[in-house]
Structure formats: C-alpha cells, structure tokens
C-alpha cells in the first residue's frame, strides 16, 4: 500500500514538474521565434507539447478522466505532436524545407484519425494512428539523416569553420526522439504510476538535451541559396536568377530599362570599391565571416552582394577563400629556407579553422598541395 502511494505521489510530482518545465521552456524560446525558421518551428513544437501536458492536468481533475473513450482521445491528441517534432528535425537539417503548407499537411494527416475516432470510437483507430506515427517518424528520420549529410558536406566544402553550424547533433537528437516515442508507447500501453514517472523524467532529459544543442546552433541563412546546380538569388522582382547571370546579359536581352542599367552599373561600381576596401582591411581573416556579415560591413544587403559576385562568376565562398589562400601564400613566401612551417598554423592565420577546407581550396586555386607549394618556394630561394 505504501509502495503504491509512493509511486503515485512520485508520478504526480514528476507530472507537475514536467508541465512547469515545458511552460517555462516555451516562454523562454517564444522570444527567439523570429531568430530563424528553425526556432520558429521549435516554438510551435514546444507550444503544442506544453498544451498536451496542460491538457492532461485538466483531465486529471475531471470525472471523465477514467472513461476509455476520453483516454483514447487524449492519446490521439498526444500523437499529434509527431508532425511538429519531425518538422523541427527536417527544418534544422534543410533550412526552408518546412513551409506552412507542408506543416499543415502533416497536421491534417494526424487530425483525420481524431475525427474518425470521434465518430467510430474504436480502439483499433488508436493502434493504426500509432503505426502511422511510427511510419511518419521513420520516414522523417531517414530524410533528416540524408539532409544532415548534405548540409554538413556543404558546410565542410564552403566554410572554414564548422563549430556551431554542423548539424551532426540532430542525428543524436532524432535517435533520442525515437527512444522517447518508444518509451511513450511502452509506458502508456499498460499505464502504471511507475511508467508515468519514467516517461516524465525522460521527457525532461530529452528536451534539455535537444535545447542545449539547438540553442547553440547557428543557421546559415545563405545555405538557402545553395542548390545542386549552383547559387540562386531572388531579385527584387521575385524572379530566381541563375548563378552567373550578369548585368551585361540582362542588357543584351533587353530585360532592363536604360535607367535600370545605369542604376545597376552605379551599384556595381560601388560594390567593387567597397569590397576592395574591406579586403584591404583583411576582413576575410575572420573565420566566421558570412555573406550577411560582409554585406552589412559594406553597407548593402546579401541579395545585392550575391548578385554582384555571381555576375563575376564567383560564389561568396570562392571569393573570400581566394583572398585567404593569397594570404597563406604570402606567409609561405616570407618563410626562410629550412624554416619549419606548420600548415595548420598557416591555415588559421589566413582565416581557416578547418585544415581540410584549407587544403581543398589551396589545391583548387594553386593546383598543388600547400606542402608542395612551400617546397618549391624553398627551392627557388636556395
């Protein structure tokens, strides 16, 4: 008897604790909802999970709490969190993937069993919904894995640093979510006070783990502009402009008016001089320099800057890393014959935080590894 009372007390205590945790968590991230699309999806997800826990508190103190039909409806409402959580993982690994229409489709897919259950009230509907949730989650997991691999490859290929922007952590969080889902099914398939307490504690631990990583993650806005065929920019008129489409091409095809051509030319001249000045200040030595950072530094926006760089046949990454490699060559050229040179140190001094990225861009620009370049320089001086 005492053991049962103790477990019941623990279950009620943990339920209150987890409810307060999600309320405070939602309030805390609500102010960050406009920080990125990822944080917006997380805010929506947190809000729904908080609603689910508050809903359970209300049902706990109502006479209908022990009715099988009501309990079935509560379970279906809880399962509805699946599209929200899956959407967060997908949006994190592929920024811009989750649109209002796609999220609404996922929600309606899980609202259908709820509507069906209201009419039929058959327990088999709950089992089918659990199966749907499992299928939806597994599909989302594999897409998350695929997007994460592509995202990290793009980061490794184009950024001189990866700390805080890599999405490898999402895989661990997705696995944790599957564990959470499995525990939910096991706990509530045969509910006991002990299972309630276990699930509540696991929920807090899992979401703290998720919040810890997501709060440190920096969404790279310009990743939205990367596509397999190259960079795409959206012009002021909203038309996607292909990478490499220059102003001269627009003039030749007659798609711009004479006044617009003069304006674009003036803007192009401004960007040329502004960029040259910033490159003289060696802003490229900042390993965390982004397209948006550079645009703000020269007094323009990233769309105009991307348009200009593309008209020169270069991406932002290529443009900046050319200066970094030139800086590395200056360091190599200044070295004395026989002097021991650390390639990793040179990479860091020239603005790279990733030795692999440094080696890759050095070979791409100089058509030889940095060690060979240094050896040839020593040979020229001897």
Lowest mean pLDDT among 17-26, 80-89, 217-226: 217-226
The confidence band for 267, taking pLDDT boundaries of 50, 70 and 90, is low
| 256: pLDDT strictly greater than 50 | no
Q: Percent of the chain, pLDDT > 90?
A: 18
Residues in the chain: 382
- Asked whether the predicted pLDDT for residue 190 surpasses 80, the reply is no
pLDDT at 272: 82
List, for residues 55-75, the tens digit of each pLDDT value: 877 766 666 556 778 888 888
- For 232, phi then psi, to 5°, come to -120, 140
Element (DSSP H or E) covering residue 215: helix 193-216
pTM value? 0.65
Q: What is the mean pLDDT of the chain?
A: 78
**The pLDDT of residue 154 is above 80:** no
- pLDDT, mean of residues 361-374: 88
Phi then psi for residue 191, to 5 deg, are -65, 130
Question: How far apart are the C-alpha atoms of 39 and 44, rounded to whole Å?
Answer: 9
Query: What residues contact residue 329 under an 8 Å CB cut-off, 6+ apart?
Result: 366, 373
**pLDDT value of position 10:** 83
Residue 239 has pLDDT above 50, yes or no: no
List, in order of start, the domains of the chain with CATH numbers. Answer: 2-219 (1.20.1070), 269-381 (1.10.10.60)
Which pLDDT does position 224 carry in this prediction?
Answer: 46
361 exposure class (CB count in 10 Å sphere: 0-12, 13-18, 19+): buried
Predicted confidence at residue 230, as pLDDT, reads: 34
Q: In what order do the strands lie in the sheet with 230-234?
A: 226-227, 230-234, 240-242
Residue 248 pLDDT greater than 70, yes or no = no
**Whether the Cβ atoms of residue 20 and residue 6 lie closer than 8 Å to each other:** no
Residue identified by tokens 């099914």 is: 185
Sign of CA dihedral 210, 216, 220, 221: positive
Residue 136 has a pLDDT of 92
The predicted structure's pLDDT at residue 264? 47
pLDDT-derived band at 261 (thresholds 50, 70, 90) equals very low
Identify the three-state secondary structure at position 282.
coil
Going by DSSP bridges, is the β-strand pair 230-234/226-227 parallel, antiparallel, or unpaired?
antiparallel
Lowest mean pLDDT among 22-26, 56-60, 126-130, 332-336: 56-60
User: Over the stretch 102-150, which tens digit does the pLDDT of each residue have?
Assistant: 999 999 999 999 999 988 888 899 889 988 998 998 899 999 999 998 8
Reference 284, options 244, 311, 315, 316; nearest CA is 316
């Amino acid at each position: 008897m005492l053991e049962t009372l103790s477990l019941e007390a623990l279950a009620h205590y943990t339920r209150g604790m987890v409810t307060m945790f999600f309320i405070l968590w939602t309030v805390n991230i609500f102010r960050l909802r406009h920080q990125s699309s990822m944080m917006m999806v997380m805010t929506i997800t947190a809000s729904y999970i908080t609603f689910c826990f508050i809903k359970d508190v209300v049902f706990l103190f109502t006479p209908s709490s022990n009715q099988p039909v009501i309990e079935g409806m509560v379970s279906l409402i809880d399962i509805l969190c699946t599209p929200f959580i899956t959407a967060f993982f997908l949006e994190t690994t592929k920024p811009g993937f989750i649109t209002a229409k796609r999220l609404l489709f996922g929600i309606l897919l899980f609202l259908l069993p709820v509507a069906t259950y209201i009419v039929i009230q058959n327990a088999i509907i709950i089992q089918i919904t659990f199966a749907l949730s499992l299928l939806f989650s597994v599909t989302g997991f594999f897409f998350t894995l695929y997007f994460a691999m592509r995202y990290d490859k793009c980061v490794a290929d184009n950024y001189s640093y990866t700390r805080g922007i890599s999405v490898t952590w999402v895989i661990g969080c997705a696995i944790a979510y599957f564990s959470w889902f499995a525990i939910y099914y096991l706990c509530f398939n045969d509910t006991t006070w002990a299972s309630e307490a276990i699930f509540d504690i696991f929920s807090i631990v899992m979401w703290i783990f998720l919040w810890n990583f997501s709060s440190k993650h920096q969404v790279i806005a310009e990743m939205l502009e990367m596509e397999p065929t190259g960079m795409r920019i959206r012009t002021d008129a909203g038309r996607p402009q292909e990478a490499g489409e220059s102003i001269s091409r627009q003039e030749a095809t007659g798609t711009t008016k004479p006044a617009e051509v003069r304006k674009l030319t003036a803007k192009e001249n401004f960007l040329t001089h502004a960029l040259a000045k910033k490159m003289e200040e060696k802003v490229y030595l900042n390993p965390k320099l982004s397209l948006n950072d550079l645009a703000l530094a020269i007094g323009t926006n990233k769309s105009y800057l991307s348009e200009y760089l593309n008209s020169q046949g270069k991406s932002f990454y290529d443009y900046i890393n050319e200066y970094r490699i030139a800086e590395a060559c200056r360091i190599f050229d200044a070295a004395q014959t026989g002097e021991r040179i650390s390639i990793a140190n040179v990479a860091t001094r020239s603005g790279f935080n990733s030795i692999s990225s440094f080696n890759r861009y050095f070979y791409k620009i100089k058509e030889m590894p940095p060690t060979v370049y240094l050896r040839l320089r020593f040979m020229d001086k001897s």
